[in-house]
């Protein structure tokens, strides 16, 4: 059983782990309050304008949607088992994401900040290494490259 | 059987294609694809395979009605 | 010399480290983008409805404003020395803060997420332990208690 | 000299008050305040002292025109 924030979970019950449209970072943060949580940690993975010395125009993310969704849910469930979290949500973009836009967001909240930081890092690390989501970088010189490493 | 490939694999194969029924497990699928396109051999060694939304091992048996997804290493974020 | 996001620093140049009014958490996050930053981490320390088994109505924060401001600036400068950050800002409330409101916010951004998480934790840990800011908890039973420990 | 106290210390002393010029350093100020209110002795041992927005040690010399701030342990957040 997931120990979690039932009221917040209700509010974000419809949150898709994979989103083809822009992530509502500010809206998700605004909703991320829980009366028992003293610490909220938000991670936003954003598109950088350079990578490995190359100027980046934009990225495109591809996912196996059903498996990525299921795996992110499972990672969040594992985090809820490991730490007493009031809130734990994550969402990843697909499609074209431009420089400065958010490609992935993780929000965790707990009574004390150590757990919120640890769970947040755990969730993003596992999403990046395990979820079937890939990025293709489109560079300013017209070339492109499918990513095979984490860049943030 | 139907094969779906993702990300960089689309530079080596069509995104989706059919294969004959003589392939009986993941290991033989991997060999077969390496023969179809020798330059994909390296990346295929690193791929994960999934059937019905579950990852499967190399000895997993596949049949003609299966859809097999092939995933290069992930790089979300 | 602080290695930092000059454009973002310009945008938040007027940010006071100590604020008597509500913190604009969402606005600060919305401004926290930098084209070189792949990772943004936000920490929000919020008022919990319980502490040590007592129901909490609200907190009141008191600060020695000029020293707290100077110390938070120094802590951020130290973080900028230790990690290659594009953004590092922090702000702490004074006055009455109710349950669910933010008492302190820290935002860090860097090319890679490890640095952003580490710097964020470093800044909040030092603010909590070193800055001359105190909280008084007002409990639902009418009693109050000056805090001497970190609670989140 | 002027003394300013913060947070829980306000339960033992006025927020701001004047003391005579016979006190010459932080250590003697600490002793003097412990005599004024014996129940504050414990918390005073844990306090930091600041003059002109800088923390000072117990042997720091104070004069009649100084304002001395006394800070209990912090608990921001």
Give bridge partners of residue A139 from the DSSP assignment. Answer: A56
The DSSP line for B49-61 is EEETTEEE-TT-B
User: In total, how many domains does chain A have?
Assistant: 1
Spell out where B1-77 has E strands: 2-5, 16-18, 48-51, 54-56, 67-71
Which residues 6+ apart lie within 8 Å of D52 measured at CB?
A: D66, D67
The contacts found for D38-46 with CB under 8 angstroms, 24 or more apart, are D39/D12, D40/D9, D40/D12, D40/D13, D43/D8, D43/D9, D43/D12, D43/D72, D44/D70, D46/D72, D46/D73
Q: C30: nearest CA in chain A?
A: A26
Sheet of D54-56, strands arranged across: D16-18, D2-5, D67-71, D48-51, D54-56
Which residues 6+ apart lie within 8 Å of C113 measured at CB?
A: A43, A45, A121, A124, A152, C38, C39, C41
CATH classification of the domain holding A114: 3.90.1170.40
Residue D6 and residue C62: Cβ atoms within 8 Å?
yes
Give contacts of A151 with chain B, Cβ < 8 Å.
75, 77
Cα A72 to its chain centre, rounded Å, is 9
What fold is seen in the domain D2-71?
Ubiquitin-like (UB roll) (3.10.20)
Structure tokens at C10: 């310009």
Burial class (CB in 10 A: 0-12, 13-18, 19+), D69: buried
- Domain hosting C111: range is 16-146
**Mean pLDDT value across residues A139-150:** 80
Q: Does chain A touch chain C (at least 3 C-beta pairs within 8 Å)? A: yes
- Do the domain assignments include residue A83? yes
Which residues 6+ apart lie within 8 Å of A48 measured at CB?
A: A56, A99, A151, A152, C35, C36, C37, C38, C111
CB contacts under 8 A, C 64-93 vs A, are none
Residue C61 and residue D76: Cβ atoms within 8 Å?
yes
Contact of C54 with chain A, judged by CB distance below 8 Å, is answered with no
Q: List the chains bordering chain B where 3 or more Cβ pairs fall under 8 Å.
A: A
Residue C46 and residue A40: Cβ atoms within 8 Å?
yes
Contact of A152 with chain B, judged by CB distance below 8 Å, is answered with yes
- D8, D37 Cβ separation under 8 angstroms: no
Pairwise CA distance, residues C94 & C68, whole Å: 11
- D70, D7 Cβ separation under 8 angstroms: no
pLDDT of residue A9 exceeding 90: no
Residue B44: how many other CB atoms lie within 10 Å: 20
**Mean pLDDT value across residues A42-66:** 93
Q: What is the pLDDT of residue B74?
A: 74
**How close D18 gets to chain C, by Cα (Å)?**
19
Give contacts of D77 with chain C, Cβ < 8 Å.
45, 92, 103-104, 124, 127-128, 135, 150-152
Q: What is the pLDDT of residue A147?
A: 76
Residue-wise pLDDT tens digits, B24-74: 999 999 999 999 999 999 999 999 999 999 999 999 999 999 999 999 987
Q: What is the pLDDT of residue C20?
A: 96
SS3 assignment, position B11: helix
CB contacts under 8 A, C 90-149 vs D, are 92, 103-104, 124, 127-136, 146-149
- Do the domain assignments include residue A137? yes
pLDDT of residue A3 exceeding 50: no
Q: A152: nearest CA in chain B?
A: B77
Residue B77 and residue A136: Cβ atoms within 8 Å?
no
Contact of A53 with chain B, judged by CB distance below 8 Å, is answered with no
Residues of chain D falling short of pLDDT 50 = 76-77
Q: What is the pLDDT of residue A62?
A: 95
**How close C55 gets to chain D, by Cα (Å)?**
18
**How close A66 gets to chain C, by Cα (Å)?**
26
Pairwise CA distance, residues B24 & B62, whole Å: 5
Longest dimension (CA), chain B: 38
Residue A39 and residue C45: Cβ atoms within 8 Å?
yes
The tens-digit pLDDT sequence of chain C (152 residues) is: 334 444 454 445 578 999 999 999 999 999 998 999 999 999 999 998 988 888 999 999 999 999 999 999 999 999 999 999 999 999 999 999 999 899 999 999 999 999 999 999 999 999 999 999 999 999 999 999 997 544 55
Q: What is the pLDDT of residue A148?
A: 54
Which residues 6+ apart lie within 8 Å of B5 measured at CB?
A: B12, B13, B14, B15, B16, B69, B70
Q: What is the pLDDT of residue A33?
A: 87
Residue A135 and residue B77: Cβ atoms within 8 Å?
yes
Give bridge partners of residue D55 from the DSSP assignment. Answer: D50
More confident call, A61 vs B77? A61
Residue-wise pLDDT tens digits, A89-131: 999 999 999 998 999 999 999 999 999 999 999 999 999 999 9
Contact of A98 with chain C, judged by CB distance below 8 Å, is answered with no
Pairwise CA distance, residues C52 & A38, whole Å: 13
pLDDT of residue B10 exceeding 50: yes
Residue C50 and residue A36: Cβ atoms within 8 Å?
yes
Pairwise CA distance, residues C76 & A86, whole Å: 29
User: Which of A138, A46, A121, A57 is closest to C34 using CA atoms?
Assistant: A46
Residue A130 and residue B74: Cβ atoms within 8 Å?
yes
Q: What is the pLDDT of residue B77?
A: 41
Give contacts of A30 with chain C, Cβ < 8 Å.
26
Give contacts of D15 with chain C, Cβ < 8 Å.
none
Residue A151 and residue B73: Cβ atoms within 8 Å?
no
**How close C113 gets to chain A, by Cα (Å)?**
5
Pairing relation of β-strands B67-71 and B2-5? Answer: parallel
- CB-closest option in D7, D69, D77 to C146: D7
- Do the domain assignments include residue A2? no
- C19, C27 Cβ separation under 8 angstroms: no
How is residue B13 annotated by DSSP?
A: S
Number of Cβ pairs closer than 8 Å across A and C?
A: 106
How would you classify residue C130: left for phi > 0, otherwise alpha for psi between -120 and 50, otherwise beta?
A: alpha
Pairwise CA distance, residues A27 & A4, whole Å: 20
């Amino acid at each position: 059983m997931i120990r979690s924030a039932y009221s917040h979970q209700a509010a974000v019950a419809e949150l898709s782990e994979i989103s083809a449209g822009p992530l509502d970072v500010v809206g998700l943060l605004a909703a991320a309050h829980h009366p028992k949580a003293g610490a909220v940690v938000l991670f936003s993975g954003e598109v950088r304008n350079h990578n490995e010395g190359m100027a980046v125009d934009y990225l495109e993310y591809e996912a196996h949607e059903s498996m990525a969704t299921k795996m992110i849910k499972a990672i969040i469930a594992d985090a809820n088992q490991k730490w007493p979290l009031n809130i734990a949500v994550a969402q990843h973009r697909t499609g074209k994401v431009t420089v400065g836009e958010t490609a992935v967001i993780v929000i965790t909240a707990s009574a004390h900040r150590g757990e919120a930081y640890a769970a947040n890092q755990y969730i993003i690390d596992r999403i990046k290494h395990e979820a079937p989501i890939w990025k293709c970088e489109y560079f300013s010189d017209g070339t492109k490259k499918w990513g095979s490493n984490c860049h943030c | 059987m139907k094969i779906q490939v993702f990300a960089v694999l689309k530079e080596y194969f069509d995104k989706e294609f059919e294969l004959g029924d003589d392939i009986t497990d993941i290991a033989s699928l991997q060999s077969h694809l390496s023969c179809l396109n020798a330059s994909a051999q390296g990346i295929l060694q690193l791929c994960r395979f999934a059937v019905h939304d579950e990852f499967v091992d190399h000895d997993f048996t596949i049949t003609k009605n299966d859809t097999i997804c092939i995933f290069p290493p992930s790089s979300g974020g």
